[in-house]
Amino acid sequence: MTQTLPARPDLRTGAELQRPPEPRRRPVRRAAARGAIASMAMSGIRQFTTALGLVAKTPPESVIERTAPRMFHQVPVERRPALVEVVHWTYGAAGGAIFGLLPRAVRCRKWAGPVYGVLIWAAFETAIAPTLGLPRREGTAVERITLMADHLLYGTVVAASPWPHRDGPQT
């Protein structure tokens, strides 16, 4: 009679040895997904604030027009908002993944998400926009507060977790 021995949990197969353990990747993947979702939420706020005239032109649209004008203008006018959204969601997912790379001791702080969102906004205003050659707009205080507020939302969503700051089983 053949008896099957239970697998030893302390031994890993060759395929498992070639990739990092699941828990290390999980925070990055989940934070990237939350980053995309947060960017979608920001898009809703921006649609609202642009319709009210609080924000003249959204930063993602300005960036795409400046960095890829030929591609942007080859897209039919009625499809350009979709292009802007996809680029923004992708950028948001990348920002979320970066948040997921932060040490767990930082990610689990209640202030980490909102501070991260504001830091992304500040980095855009002070470094990214000037590097891309985007003209410095003298936006109103309301516009600046609005853009900062949607980045607060972004950071809050990126730092959210279905379980209080647990990205899965810890090893």
**For 50-96, how does the pLDDT look when each residue is reduced to its tens digit (9 = 90+)?**
899 888 877 888 888 888 888 888 989 899 889 889 999 999 999 99
Rounded CA Rg of the chain: 21
CA–CA distance, 106 with 23 (Å, rounded to integer): 17
Kindly tell me if the per-residue pLDDT of 47 is higher than 50: yes
Task: Measure Cα distances from 56 to 1, 46, 48, 51, 125 in Å.
Answer: 78, 10, 12, 9, 16
Quote the pLDDT of residue 27: 84
Write down the domain spans for the chain. Answer: 25-159
pLDDT at 17 over 50: no
pLDDT digits (tens, 9 = 90+) for 142-167: 888 998 999 999 999 999 876 545 55
Q: Residue 1: pLDDT above 70?
A: no
pLDDT for 22: 45
